[in-house]
A and B are shown apart, each in its own frame.
Chain A
């Protein structure tokens, strides 16, 4: 897939938080084949080398880095965080989060559009973490976003795709915009469903990091993403209410 003029082989994107250890994180990435890793910026104490150690680990993964503005509740916070991330990680890519509610962590649509507009004009390549609202999507595209990242469910819930109708509508309205379902996935079947619906990729973290065996779950998600993408391209059958025999009726032996 192509995101902001960059070709990415894998349609699975993984977060780097909450793993039991750096070694498990690295193994999960290796097994998943993910080509993009999300990271954050956080306060560093003087003399501490936590940032450097983590940076070494991430660099060794050999993947494209997507820094986020997680935890930012205002436009100003998000913009300043994005600027710091751009310098730290030497990338114009930014996963833009402007959080509107502390409990649901749902995006603030108004702040999101405002911040996206500022960042695009400042040369960023913005990946907005957004709701599945098609009008908001239109505003984000007008602001210059060339990728959209609608949520599947609130961050960390593992509920899967909670608004299939809106996601399907969003996909249909903007068929040429790369769209990544971001957040809320708990099982590979959720990712497969998103891919079957024609989404370009999925981004997840907790479902892998908090699994009993993160590396195995990462591989499970990778296979699900591939399966779902294959199905999307294969013109799936339409469901129907009446049974239809799969075995030919003609030539059946008459044995009454």
Chain B
């Protein structure tokens, strides 16, 4: 199915957030996630995704 990953349309095979993260190379990266604007805790990433879902994947960055 096609979903949005960090603003980019992306074709994925996985059906859950966890499987898609693995598929896209995030593996054990230090990241946090949101789906359709809502935070998804690391412990809850087995949540199923639907076509068109907007997934945001963020990591620590410089800030002021």
Binding site for B on A (CB under 8 A): 15-19, 38-52, 54-55, 58, 67-68, 70, 76-77, 80-81, 83-85, 87-89, 155, 183, 204-206
Contact = CB atoms under 8 A, between A and B. Distances in A.
Name which of A67, A83, A183 has the most chain B CB atoms within 10 A of its CB: A83
A70 to B, nearest CB: 6
A52 B42 contact: no
Contact of A43 (B38, B39, B41, B58): B58
Interface of B: 5-7, 24-26, 29-34, 37-39, 41-42, 56-64
B62 A41 contact: no
What 9 A-B pairs come out closest when comparing CB atoms? A51-B59, A40-B63, A15-B64, A205-B64, A44-B59, A84-B32, A46-B25, A83-B39, A47-B25
A88 B31 contact: yes
Contacts of A52: 29-30, 59-60
Nearest to B43: A87
A76 B39 contact: no
Q: Say what secondary structure dominates the interface of chain A.
A: mixed
Contacts of B56: 43
Which of A15, A17, A48, A80: most chain B CB closer than 10 A?
A80
Contact of B6 (A45, A55, A68): A45
Contact of B62 (A39, A88, A204): A39
Name the residue in A51, A68, A85 with the highest tally of chain B Cβ atoms < 10 Å from its Cβ.
A51
Contacts of A70: 63-64
A16 B64 contact: yes
B62 A84 contact: no
A206 B7 CA distance: 29
A50 B61 contact: yes
B13 to A, nearest CB: 14
B18 to A, nearest CB: 14
Nearest to B58: A41
A44 B57 contact: yes
Greatest chain A CB density within 10 A among B29, B41, B59, B60 is at B60
B29 to A, nearest CB: 7
A106 to B, nearest CB: 15
A40 B63 CA distance: 5
Contacts of A46: 5, 24-26, 57
27 contacts: A16-B62, A18-B62, A38-B63, A39-B61, A39-B62, A39-B63, A41-B59, A43-B7, A43-B56, A43-B58, A44-B31, A44-B58, A44-B59, A46-B25, A47-B25, A48-B29, A51-B60, A68-B64, A80-B34, A81-B58, A83-B32, A83-B39, A84-B32, A88-B30, A183-B64, A204-B64, A205-B64
A55 B56 CA distance: 19
A68 B30 contact: no
Given A44-B57, A84-B58, A87-B42, A155 B29 contact: no
Given A80-B34, A83-B39, A88 B60 contact: yes
